[in-house]
Structure 1
């Protein structure tokens, strides 16, 4: 009887550990997009990245067929104190066993030159390319009505990309 109990306990412990193993590497949650206008217009994608690995990770690149150009962007204050968007060079670091939010008013994915008009409920296929995890496919719903999660987030709709140097 004791042998059976030990075996059952070992099996239960291994089954409980399985969900943790399923999330080794990166996990993407809460993706959504906002778009400004129709074909040729811009949009932005926001999401949460969790690094479940014990090594630092880096989001190097993003790809999608819905726009002419897809880039990692951030907001920063110019010399005059006005907030501007600019491309992120070198990717976004995600420390081991931590996360990084791509959010309005901060780091985000910029869609420039939309190839067609997108509306609420449409789904954008997105490929995130990580240094260690490789390619991660994400389906991103368009949700123009979603409000920023944090107080003080900037109004992304009023922002224009800063000129590239």
Structure 2
């Protein structure tokens, strides 16, 4: 019986730890899941942000960009392979999130770009960002800054 209680306590502890790391935001029919940004070295003035957006409405939505107190601009960018070359481009038209679907912004694909940062993104911190949507308007979220490897997202990591 004592062993079962210990196992239950350990499982509950792990579950609550995982829940505390996850941070999702709900705004009307939009769910923004685990926004995170890659930590950047000192002196780097651009950084990448990643998240998943679920559009639970019956109307298409578009993520247009946003704003952040630590960056001059928040833009939507896309990384894609063209032949043997990886290219990154600003997408001023934003990113379409079709009705009833989800879109993941991740390293090596679509991502949020923090342009003209006045300080580095530091592992373990959270940074405030306002995401701007065509229909839903502005949604305030926090991006958890994490040290992750892989992907290609402008931050010279």
1:81 maps to 2:108:
no
Q: In structure 1, what is the equivalent of residue 48 of structure 2?
A: 44
Q: 2:67 aligns with which of 63, 67, 85?
A: 63
More strand by share: 2
Unaligned residue ranges in structure 1 (runs of 5+): 1-21, 148-153, 161-165
User: Do the aligned partners of 1:49 and 1:100 also contact (CA within 8 Å) in 2?
Assistant: yes
5+ unaligned residues in a row in structure 2: which ranges? 1-25
Note if 1:155 corresponds to 2:151: yes
2:57 and 2:151 mapped to 1: Cα distance? 33
Contact 1:35 1:42 in 2 (8 A): no
Alignment of 1:5-154 (within 5 A): 24-78=28-82, 81-145=84-148
The alignment covers a number of residue pairs equal to 131
Report the structure number with the largest CA radius of gyration. Answer: 1
TM-score scaled by length of structure 2: 0.74
Query: Residues 50, 157 of structure 1: CA spacing in aligned structure 2 closer, same or farther, 3 A cutoff?
Result: closer
Q: Could you give the per-residue CA deviations for residues 21-45 of structure 1, whole angstroms, max 9, x where no partner exists?
A: x764211011110033224432100
Cα distance in structure 2, aligned partners of 1:106 and 1:71 = 14
Structure 1: 4+ residue segments shifted above 3 A:
157-160
